[in-house]
Amino acid sequence: MAQKEDSVSPDTGVSSDARVSPDKFISEDTVWSGRILIDGTVRVAKGATLTISPGTDIAFVRRDADADGLGDAVLAVEGRLMAVGTREQPIYFHSAAENPQPGDWLEIRVDFSQEVHLRYCDIRDSAYTLHAHFTRGVVEDCTIHHNIDGCRLGQAKFIFRNNLIEHNQGKGINFRNSSVEVHHNILRHNGSGVFLFESDRSFDIHHNNIYGNLDSVRLGDFYTGDVAVHDNWWGSADPEVARSTIYDRSKDPEIGQVIIQPSESWVADTGPRDALQIVPAWEYATDGYIDADLIAGEGRLFVAGWDGALHVLNGQGEPLWTRNFSDILDATPVLANGQIFVQSWSRKVYALDAATGEVRWRFDYSPSRADDHRQAGLLVVDDLVLVPSWNGTLFALDMASGERRWSFFGGMPLRARPVRDGDNLYLAGGDGTLSALATDGSLRWQKSLGSPLLSSPALLPHAVAVVSREGQVIVYDHNGQTLWQRELDEICYYGAPLYHDGALFVATAGNGLWKLDAATGNVIWRAALAGPSYATPLANNGRIFIGDNSGTLQVFGTDSGDLLAQHKIYREIQGQPLIWAGKLLVGSRDHKVHAFTLVEQLMP
């Protein structure tokens, strides 16, 4: 049977590419693509196949006619449902509400279907997500989040593999009397990771990472048998901590027991699968090391180098202008209000016109015994340029004139750029002092760690994280109270910790890339780098990019921790990677800026 391309006309107020589906019955094979708006119930008849193309966006209108507190919109399937997206073109199921909430729409309801295949789907804002009975299906490489329940299965046969199931209020995976295999998923921050209501069939839950849920596995009130699950990681290598995440007979004597046989560490190859290739695009050669982070803005790329020059390039790597300062530049410049601000090893700070390189003003500061390597990057705060100096003084300069407005001694030397969070400035000192300042330079609080702080602090929601040279990670709240600390037992130099999606990523000189839970400091995973790293990681599109002193640029999955791609440059990469103008960019001690194209690899 030929497939029909659905083409319902849009209602008033709906974008021109949206097709509004009120209560509708699909009785023949149909393909959806583009934007679909469901207002009511769409039913797919037995014998018909609904195929949803990659990149399709399906939004559900919230209506609650029965006043039960849940949205009524449903995609109901008795035929076949084939929703197979790709990593770059996932299929989206979500609320059409301006401020979406879990339960805005009811579910994908599938009954008596011989085949359901959901792959690379992003499903959110529903009550029950996938609600299936007497159905066979596969759910893989999907992200299921911010629903009430991540699924409800009854008398069904399903495989759940390589999914990310997180932030669902109730259950991540919920089944009753079903044959289910659950493997290589990440289930985190749900009410219950896996909920077993009752079962008279075999199932297998193995090689998953299940952590940070209120209960990792919970047995229902009527589940009296014992359950064995194996080779899952439960958020800790400690078996007792792992056991404490299970709700079974140990907490309710009327129900069964879960025997967990845990993995001692993070399970690899979990979550939605990803693969890419790093392909060289262009290079730009200078006459010195490039250690500073590359800066982009206003259609230009700014490159500070040990050759004493600031090079300005376009998106194709072609030079626009160069300004030579006759001394080493390894501090990361800052761009603001049409000006680029730079400091050199001769202890001079320059304000340049970003379009022409013309010098607007210059500021000089005094020498110190720490004048030997690695200057701190600059920061713009309102109308001030903040300059951390080798001599331990943080200078606040008027952006327009370069005149000193205030200064603060933060401990000698200052090798890390300060950061700002609202009214607080955080300054890390090479003598181990962390200072919290007001934006007028007055001290709010100060901590002494006893080990040099050589990298910038990282801002967390309502907190700040620092990493000492000895590998101690400490998180303080805005009042200076310690929230947690973690010993990595690896040396850390200039690479700053990176906060991203509830986690801290730390690259070390001990060849490690660590992912820590930002709320607790618990280790989620540690990936091995090709060499010691002095660089700050970059998070982008579900990936972590990091360079190291072996000259290797590596890409890891932010969730999985898996190595996705790498490229060898053969000289040190000490700056943070940058994605700009459609390219991945790094500077290196081979004196070059390297630009790469990221080529997505289709998963089998």
pLDDT digits (tens, 9 = 90+) for 277-301: 999 999 999 999 999 999 999 999 9
Task: Quote the pLDDT of residue 245.
Answer: 94
pLDDT digits (tens, 9 = 90+) for 35-47: 999 999 999 999 9
- 8 pLDDT higher than 60: no
Task: Quote the pLDDT of residue 595.
Answer: 98
- 14 pLDDT higher than 70: no
pLDDT band at residue 6 under the 50/70/90 scheme: low
161-170 mean pLDDT: 98
Task: Quote the pLDDT of residue 17.
Answer: 60
Higher-confidence residue: 368 or 511?
511
- 12 pLDDT higher than 60: no
Cα distance between residue 230 and residue 286, in whole Å: 54
**Token pair listed for 324:** 């030579």
pLDDT band at residue 16 under the 50/70/90 scheme: very low
- 602 pLDDT higher than 90: no
pLDDT digits (tens, 9 = 90+) for 524-545: 999 999 999 999 999 999 999 9
Cα distance between residue 528 and residue 583, in whole Å: 25
What SS3 state is found at 67?
coil
pLDDT digits (tens, 9 = 90+) for 60-99: 999 999 999 999 999 999 999 999 999 999 999 999 999 9
- 319 pLDDT higher than 50: yes
**Token pair listed for 105:** 């729409």
* Contacts with 120 (C-beta within 8 Å, 6 or more apart), sequence order: 54, 84, 85, 86, 87, 89, 90, 91, 141, 142, 272
**Token pair listed for 282:** 């262009």
- 4 pLDDT higher than 60: no
What SS3 state is found at 277?
strand
Instruction: Output the DSSP codes for 61-121.
Output: ----TT-SSS---EEEESSEEEEE--SSS-EEEEE-SSS--TTSB-EEEEES-S-EEEESE
Q: How is residue 150 annotated by DSSP?
A: S
For 66-79, b/e burial (b = at least 16 CB within 10 A) is: eeeebbbbbbbbbb
pLDDT digits (tens, 9 = 90+) for 430-448: 999 999 999 999 999 999 9
198-204 mean pLDDT: 84
pLDDT digits (tens, 9 = 90+) for 544-574: 999 999 999 999 999 999 999 999 998 999 9
Cα distance between residue 430 and residue 456, in whole Å: 11
Start-to-end CA distance of the chain, whole Å, equals 27
Whole-structure pTM value = 0.94
- 378 pLDDT higher than 70: yes
